[in-house]
Chain A
């Protein structure tokens, strides 16, 4: 292929068009204000905002983070100002950039998820990401994501109230991720995102106490990447929905693995903490990979892993 010809990076996704497949993952990017000082958010395919709840949440007491071999545990506990404050104080800022805004939502009950879906889609976000996989809260969260019937109930309730596409974020903390993926698809989801963090724990052997205040937390970073690629592969084989793949992506080569496994778009998260411009590194690297490998359209990579029989 002509190396100078532009690579088509645009990806249709659940009725929307991502200008490129690189998003930032919920919980690692706040509402864009901090990293917005450091690079042009308008270059991103999408921003998944910090997880929102109906009412403001203070979050968990510290310590909330512990480093692990090529990873980190977090136990932030969905600290956020509430969906209404987000719409009033944060969304107008994000709307100033040429990127899709995806509102990540969590509820304690099915009714709360539904109320959030109504409020935020009326409020003008582009997509909802339904968090049924947060390991760091007492109620809701992960419980909804590990029980297929609950996952279906949340998805149906959100779909009834949402006027924008609905992406359901899956937990890797399940025996059979394909089963949850199929259930959520049947319940009407428009897309899937995966993976949320893996439950983990670290113990301070000097004090004999857990490092995180809440004991357990969610593992992210390169340490989880092979698990995430496997989950995306299994989910992609189980459903026809578009998939946003994430989990330990730090560079374009990592992102390509997710695309080959079956993801249509990818999200960069924890890598931001070491490299503030990691999403742009991934984006520019994807372009270079495509040029070097004769790929004229990024979409052709999705699910293009070859299995020799």
Chain B
């Protein structure tokens, strides 16, 4: 669909906050789903960007400027149009349950957890980690959308010093959770999945892989998973990006 940019603001140096109005016919995105966005005539491939938030048909993307695609998106002005496919992929399980859900986000893996927190209607707990306070995004918003929020950073400039899995491990030992939903760098996901397994709590992780078609046809974005006794490749774009952590071959 061709959509109009409503706003595009800098969240901090190197990170943008882009809002678009989706077509009335577009499906309502679930947390963890992504949009596949064309980034101008000069770039052949679309860029998969996670949905950060959705309210009343306004979709929000928070992303870091990493290469020519995200720099193109960062330069869009209100009123510009974007060519978007989506929402695509399998999202997080976000159903309010008797027990709270624990969200664990690292760095630029944090944005999709905002939509998860919204869908969980204020019941979620969150652990949010960044390399440093200067690189943090969405901290106030997530704090207001979650029942409990804990922060950590590699250098101690935000919250406790250390990694998210250590904080998650502590929360998992203190509180009974329905499940853990995690998004962030792969080593973090692996560590968080280990913490959830040790606590006997189901865990879903959002994986990333270089992607081409975005709809499941080209098999470029493979990730290795266990299916029964065998290992096989699944498509991050269609079978994921969210996977049951127990099936992921790290």
Q: Which residues of A contact B (CB under 8 A)?
A: 27-30, 33-35, 38, 50, 58-68, 70-72, 74, 76, 79, 211, 221-222, 270, 272-274, 276
5 nearest interchain CB pairs?
A: A65-B220, A30-B217, A34-B217, A34-B216, A273-B213
What 1/0 mask marks residues of chain B from 211 to 240 whose CB sits below 8 Å from any chain A CB? 111111111111110000001110000100
Residues of the A chain whose Cβ atoms lie less than 8 Å from the Cβ of B220: 64-65, 74, 76
Residues of the B chain whose Cβ atoms lie less than 8 Å from the Cβ of A28: 213, 217-218
Say yes or no: is B85 at the interface (Cβ < 8 Å to chain A).
yes
How far, in Å, is A255 (CB) from chain B's closest CB? 18
Flag if A62 contacts B215 (CB, 8 Å). Answer: no
Interface secondary structure of B, over-half rule: loop
Flag if B217 contacts A29 (CB, 8 Å). Answer: yes
Flag if A79 contacts B222 (CB, 8 Å). Answer: yes
Say yes or no: is B209 at the interface (Cβ < 8 Å to chain A).
yes
How far, in Å, is B194 (CB) from chain A's closest CB? 22
Flag if B222 contacts A64 (CB, 8 Å). Answer: yes
Sample (15) of A-B pairs whose CB atoms are under 8 Å apart: A30-B216, A30-B217, A33-B216, A58-B233, A59-B233, A62-B209, A62-B223, A63-B209, A65-B218, A67-B44, A70-B42, A72-B212, A76-B220, A272-B217, A273-B212
Flag if A221 contacts B44 (CB, 8 Å). Answer: yes
Flag if A64 contacts B46 (CB, 8 Å). Answer: no
Residues of the B chain whose Cβ atoms lie less than 8 Å from the Cβ of A68: 44
Known: A58-B232, A79-B222, A274-B38. A35 touches B217 (CB 8 A): yes
How many residue pairs link A and B with beta carbons under 8 A? The number is 88
Flag if A270 contacts B44 (CB, 8 Å). Answer: yes
Residues of the A chain whose Cβ atoms lie less than 8 Å from the Cβ of B42: 70
Say yes or no: is B45 at the interface (Cβ < 8 Å to chain A).
yes
A28-B213, A64-B221, A67-B45 known; 10 new pairs, CB 8 Å cut-off, are A34-B217, A58-B232, A59-B233, A63-B209, A64-B219, A65-B211, A65-B218, A79-B233, A272-B213, A273-B218
Give A63 to B186 CA distance when docked, in angstroms: 14
Query: Which of B209, B212, B224, B231 has the largest number of chain A CB atoms within 10 A?
Result: B212
How far, in Å, is B144 (CB) from chain A's closest CB? 37
Closest to A38 in B: B215
How far, in Å, is B250 (CB) from chain A's closest CB? 13
Give A61 to B219 CA distance when docked, in angstroms: 11
Known: A61-B224, A274-B38. A27 touches B44 (CB 8 A): no
Residues of the A chain whose Cβ atoms lie less than 8 Å from the Cβ of B231: 58
Closest to B45 in A: A67
How far, in Å, is A89 (CB) from chain B's closest CB? 15
Query: Which of B38, B42, B44, B214 has the largest number of chain A CB atoms within 10 A?
Result: B44
